[in-house]
A = this chain, B = another copy of it.
Amino acid sequence: MVASTQAAGDPFTDPVYKGAVVDLLGAIGYGEISAFERLTDDAAMAPSLEDKLALLALANRQFAKVEPVRARLAELTEDPFAAMEPFHEAIDSFHSFTAPGDWWEALVKAYVGDGIVGDFYREISAFLDEETRALITSTLSDEGETDFAIARIRAGIAADHKLGGRLALWGRRLMGEALTQTQHVAASRDALTEILAGNATFGGLDLAGIGEMFTRVTTRHIERMATLGLEH
């Protein structure tokens, strides 16, 4: 762990802090681009043009959140796309291991997968400066944005009980892959883990705190699964 000598004030004068924010925004930016691409791919499985349009509209609202992240990265670093590069592998792997096999899995991924990722970012942003936290919060899905997915899935499960069992397993897999890839990223990006451990500017988490964070993320995942009428 690097002991930061940075006192209160502009946290970006601390290169470790700045590096961590660049990393986090790089991951979020690439994650958004990537999620957009997958959602538009998955939309091809929609059973009707109306359903397809609903998923594409969700993808588009998410895409609109890429530009503020890219612009902020361009302020903080020379090449915003280079800042995204270290996260290609983990994010691409997440998507290739969770490629939906049908429309139902695509809908669950759109709601549950996006929710897990958003929860992690929300947790991490609590350790950051106000400007960065506001930017990250603005990239998270708005209330109600995935309502159509929830309604469709609930109706699907009501009509076919077996579907519920299959999608419950699918939700567990999404969570498992998200944890696996988060761990890969954490293991390889020191600045990011420094932030969680705290520096002189912002307080950090001890081991118990990290455990509590994972408990909160898991609890919210279980709540989302229950919203869908699925066991976790």
Residues of B within 8 A of A81 (CB): 48-50, 53
Query: B33, B48, B53, B63: which contacts A70 (Cβ < 8 A)?
Result: B53
Name the CB-closest residue of B to A88.
B49
A85-122 interface mask toward B, CB cutoff 8 Å, 1 = contact, 0 = none? 10000000000000000000000000000000000000
We find that the number of chain A residues with CB closer than 8 angstroms to chain B is 24
Query: B36, B53, B84: which contacts A56 (Cβ < 8 A)?
Result: B36
A45-63 interface mask toward B, CB cutoff 8 Å, 1 = contact, 0 = none? 0001110110011001001
Number of copies: 2
A175 to chain B minimum Cβ distance, whole angstroms, is 27
Where chain A touches its partner, the secondary structure class is helix
Given A40-B40, A48-B81: A33 touches B60 (CB 8 Å cut-off): no
Given A37-B43, A40-B37: A60 touches B49 (CB 8 Å cut-off): no
Judged by a CB distance under 8 angstroms, whether A169 is at the interface is: no
Residues of B within 8 A of A57 (CB): 63, 67
Residues of B within 8 A of A41 (CB): 40-41
Residues of B within 8 A of A50 (CB): 81
Q: Pick from A48, A53, A70, A84 the residue with the most CB of B within 10 Å.
A: A53
Judged by a CB distance under 8 angstroms, whether A179 is at the interface is: no
Judged by a CB distance under 8 angstroms, whether A205 is at the interface is: no
Judged by a CB distance under 8 angstroms, whether A64 is at the interface is: yes
Residues of B within 8 A of A53 (CB): 33, 66, 70, 81
**What is the bound-complex CA distance between A44 and B40, given in angstroms?**
12
Query: B49, B67, B84, B85: which contacts A33 (Cβ < 8 A)?
Result: B49
**What is the bound-complex CA distance between A52 and B53, given in angstroms?**
22
**What is the bound-complex CA distance between A79 and B58, given in angstroms?**
21
**What is the bound-complex CA distance between A146 and B81, given in angstroms?**
21
Residues of B within 8 A of A37 (CB): 40, 43-44, 56
A189 to chain B minimum Cβ distance, whole angstroms, is 18
A227 to chain B minimum Cβ distance, whole angstroms, is 27
Pairs A-B, 10 closest by C-beta atoms: A40-B40, A49-B81, A60-B63, A50-B81, A60-B60, A33-B53, A49-B84, A56-B63, A36-B56, A37-B40
